Structure 1
Amino acid sequence: MKQIFPERSLVTVFEKPSMSTDNFSFVVAIVVLTSVSIVVASEPIVHQVNSTRQSAMTSVCVLLPDRLPEGGEPRLPVVYVLPVEAGHGTRWGDSLAEVQKHDLHNKHRVVCVFPTFSDLPWYADHPENTQLHQEAYLLQDVLPLVEKNHPVLKVREGRLLVGFSKSGWGAWSLLLRHPDVFDRAAAFDAPMMMDAPGKYGSGPIFGTVDNFRRYQISSLLEKRAVDLRKESSRLMLIGQGNFQPEHVQINDRLEYAKIPHTWIEGPVRDHSWNSDWLPEAFDWLTRVSP
């Protein structure tokens, strides 16, 4: 794995945003190159990031397919593989190893991005603690870094999301809050019907009930229903596991609201990155991507 450290070959500095992530726009990422490195396409690249929106240094691992665009070939879609743990935790499996095991980046010829977060990721911005701005960190630090340094599409159709459990929630909330930024979101075994902060370590991240409401999946679906009805399926739900009852409930709501979506109910799988659900998610994500 090739690592790019600030003190060695890449210094990445991000300006603090002056706008709310509710009205998202990219800020400029200032990248200072201090040396040039030759990178093998199949070798993961790790960017170290020092962001004002996180309480500690984080990293962004980028896995490129073996065959990169040449000449006039179009740039590649990106699948953002959203973590379910803080830092480099692997209690719930290893998403990078799983993608590599199934060779998903080459099978679908996509760039896979694995960001880390300093705190338990719920993909929300805390109302007071600016070092807990997880949504802004992803939108204003991670995306510009990837799109500046790698041959990827810089449009909605090229940005795809996948996660499970809390990061499955995060994948859906990011798409529903920023439908012009992300194209598709796939979630496995996620607590989609959570109606208050507190469970699964979410309390300290959301901070207040009012802030939680801004990210609540059921509320966001109501808000976006009219627009989502006009398009083909942009939301995928996979899994028969810990949150099966919540999957049934959110599926019922989607059907009642006539929102196109994709639901793969079975088989029963472990609550883990390593339970062989990622290939199905990638099949769906890339089938509807450019």
Structure 2
Amino acid sequence: MTRTIRGCAFITVFFAFLGSAAASEPLQAISKASRDENGFLVHTVKSSLQAGTVKIRVLLPDDLNSPKKYTVLYVLPVEALDENRWGNGLLEAKQKGLHNKYGLICVAPTFSHLPWYADHPTDKGIQQETHLLKVVVPFIERAYPAVSKREGRLLVGFSKSGWGAWTLLLRHPDVFQKAAAWDAPLMKDAPNQFGMGPIFASQENFERYEVTKLLAQRADLLRKTERLVLTGHGGFREHHQQTHQLLERLGIHHDYRDGPNRKHHWNSGWLEEAVGLLVEE
């Protein structure tokens, strides 16, 4: 792969063929970047881990300096494909100037199915966790001047993607540095609401991602440094309060804000605070 940086010009075509470098690598084809109506760089992605074509949207700092390496903020969607009933997280980051304020490369992938950031046990087209880990993250770190280690990878989301931000960090603490969740159903103990069923497929598979179980498993590691952010609420205040109490019992360092109450939406004003807490040293 070749990369050329002139302002925002990137040659970013990346192919990984199943059975070439490693048999476990997903088949993928990622396009060169084009500009969308919001000014984002958009790559279309064909991946064996997703059903159909998905995208990776990228927001770069205005003063991008090519020798420098930038922290990447993964702005995780709550809807499938390009749906925006609950707003646009990457657009909110741009409108608040978070990419410039904190010097972040902001990345928003899309998924072919409702994103719960899990791998379906049998459906090869619903491998959301693996798609993010093996397609999205490696591509960003090849195509853009991104920090290619744990300390340079942050996660933020709400509702489903708040759950996803936390489960990704809890299941892969060596990959991601910090995760922020806003108004997320973190105390769920069964895949029986919010479109969970078709993604997790079974209670057994769900329990591999169950936040409360993962917190208990990772408690020793997470007592060392503050890597979890839990802020505000819209409809899941009880979940947040119970999660905070569990974290306290487990002795896990975390940044907690009980409120304010806001609309359950990307654009209700919560993102700026959450990202600010993520980038704090």
Considering the TM-score relative to the shorter chain, is it more than 0.5? yes
The answer to whether the aligner puts 1:203 opposite 2:197 as a matched pair is yes
CA distance in 2, matches of 1:53, 1:145: 15
CA spacing shift, 1:32–1:91, aligned 2, 3 Å? closer
Alignment of 1:71-90 (within 5 A): 71=67, 73=68, 75-90=69-84
- In the alignment, the residues of structure 1 paired with residue 191 and residue 145 of structure 2 have an alpha-carbon distance, to the nearest angstrom, of 38
Distance 1:239-1:38 versus aligned 2 partners, 3 A rule: closer
Q: Does 1:121 align with 2:108?
A: no
The Cα of 1:267 is off from its aligned counterpart by: 1.1
Residue equivalent to 2:275: 282
Post-superposition CA distance 1:96-133 (Å, at most 9, x none) = 22111101101111000010000000000001011110
RMSD: 2.2
CA contact (8 A) 1:156 1:181 kept: yes
Counterpart residue identity of residue 132, structure 1: I
Q: Does 1:13 align with 2:15?
A: yes
State the percentage of identical aligned residues: 48
CA distance 1:196–1:31, change in 2 (3 Å): closer
Amino acid at match of 1:237: L
How many residues align? The count is 266
Give the corresponding residue for 1:176.
Answer: 170
Correspondence for 1:140 among 121, 134, 137: 134
| 1:24 match | none
Runs of at least 5 residues in structure 2 that lack an aligned partner in the other structure = 1-10
Structure 1 portions without partners, runs of 5+: 1-8, 20-26
Deviation at 1:15, TM superposition (A): 4.1
* Equivalent of residue 53 in structure 1, options 49, 54, 57: 49
Within 2, Cα distance between the matches of 1:82 and 1:96? 9
**Distance change >3 Å, CA 216–CA 18, structure 1 → 2:** farther
In 1, distance between residues paired with 2:60 and 2:116? 26
Residue 98 (1) aligns with residue 96 (2)? no
Q: Is the 8 A contact 1:236 1:262 kept in 2?
A: yes
AA aligned opposite 2:168: L
Q: 2:125 aligns with which of 120, 131, 134?
A: 131
Shift of 1:43: 4.0
Contact 1:10–1:31 (CA<8 Å) still a contact in 2? no
Deviations 1:186-232 (A, max 9, x none): 0110000000012100001001111000000000000000111122x
| Corresponding residue for residue 270 of structure 1 | 263
Partner of 1:186: 180
Q: What TM-score does the superposition give when structure 2 sets the normalisation length? A: 0.89
The match for 2:250 is 257
- Per the alignment, in what secondary structure is the counterpart of residue 119 of structure 1? coil
The structural deviation recorded for 1:251 is: 0.4
Q: Is the 8 A contact 1:269 1:275 kept in 2?
A: yes
